[in-house]
């Protein structure tokens, strides 16, 4: 079988989502680093794979695919291993709803704003505007509160087994929980906190962990 090649930096939340999918499915893969911080994603050879200069990109059996949600579903549908999408139509719809909420309302304020600002402060010693953090904290809190309200009674975001919804949110939370804002917001979300404590200890999360998240 053709080997899977995944392009992107290991610290990217979206790249880690796909790495988690591959690990959970038991798929052997090769990670080709793309240093977006140094503009490697803007080079012509990468733009041939991804014209929008974003990660991740998956190449398998002469087939190139980008966009995280599309790749995650392709991995689940194409390889043996535990299914990561519910067979129940309502649970599948809920999973897709939560993924859409994460991408549309969570990734921006959590990763693009709060995590990025805190990273600039920690690694580049840049002074940041606390008001920017406060502005982003509101939408981040709303997104996670809504997700908690949509959760059922099981240990996972949807139903009683792991799904793509868990694998989309977990890498984002790995970064967010390293920030004061993340820790503070999660104090008011007991169900989501219990979920995070469980999912963060999962072997696939441990295997794909990096120093940055």
The DSSP annotation for 46-70 comes to HHTT-TT--S-EEEETTEEEESHHH
DSSP annotation of 38: G
The C-alpha atoms of residue 112 and residue 106 are separated, in whole angstroms, by 9
In which order are the strands placed within the sheet that holds 29-32?
29-32, 4-7, 57-60, 63-66
Per-residue pLDDT band for 148 (boundaries 50, 70, 90) equals very high
CA separation (Å) from 201 to 134, 170, 176, 195? 30, 11, 16, 10
Per-residue pLDDT band for 124 (boundaries 50, 70, 90) equals confident
The C-alpha atoms of residue 189 and residue 147 are separated, in whole angstroms, by 10
**pLDDT above 80 (res 123):** yes
Which helix (H) or strand (E) segment holds residue 29: the answer is strand 29-32
- Report, as an integer, the average pLDDT of 135-162: 96
Q: What is the pLDDT of residues 61-101, one digit of tens each?
A: 999 999 999 999 999 999 999 999 999 999 999 999 999 99
Task: Outline where 32-161 has alpha helix (H).
Answer: 44-47, 68-78, 89-101, 107, 116-123, 130-150
**pLDDT above 70 (res 9):** yes
pLDDT reported for residue 213: 60
Q: How far is Cα of residue 139 from the mean position of the Cα atoms in its chain? A: 18
- Specify whether the CB–CB gap between 42 and 36 falls below 8 A: no
Share of the chain above pLDDT 70, in %: 98
**pLDDT above 80 (res 211):** no
pLDDT reported for residue 152: 87
């Amino acid at each position: 079988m053709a080997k899977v090649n995944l392009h992107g930096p290991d610290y990217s939340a979206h790249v880690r989502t796909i790495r988690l999918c591959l690990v959970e499915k038991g798929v052997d893969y090769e990670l080709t680093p793309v240093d977006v911080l140094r503009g490697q994603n803007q080079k012509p050879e990468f733009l041939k794979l991804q014209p929008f200069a974003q990660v991740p990109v998956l190449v398998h059996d002469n087939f190139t695919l980008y966009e995280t949600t599309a790749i995650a579903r392709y991995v689940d549908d194409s390889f043996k291993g535990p299914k990561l999408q519910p067979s129940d139509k309502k649970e599948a719809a809920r999973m897709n709803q939560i993924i859409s909420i994460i991408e549309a309302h969570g990734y921006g304020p959590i990763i693009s704003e709060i995590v990025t600002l805190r990273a600039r402060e920690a690694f580049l010693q840049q002074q940041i505007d606390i008001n920017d953090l406060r502005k982003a904290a509101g939408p981040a809190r709303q997104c996670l509160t809504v997700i908690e309200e949509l959760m059922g009674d099981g240990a996972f975001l949807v139903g009683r087994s792991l799904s793509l919804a868990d694998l989309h949110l977990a890498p984002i939370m790995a970064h967010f929980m390293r920030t004061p804002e993340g820790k503070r917001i999660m104090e008011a979300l007991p169900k989501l906190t219990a979920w995070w404590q469980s999912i963060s200890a999962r072997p696939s999360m441990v295997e794909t962990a990096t120093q940055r998240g």
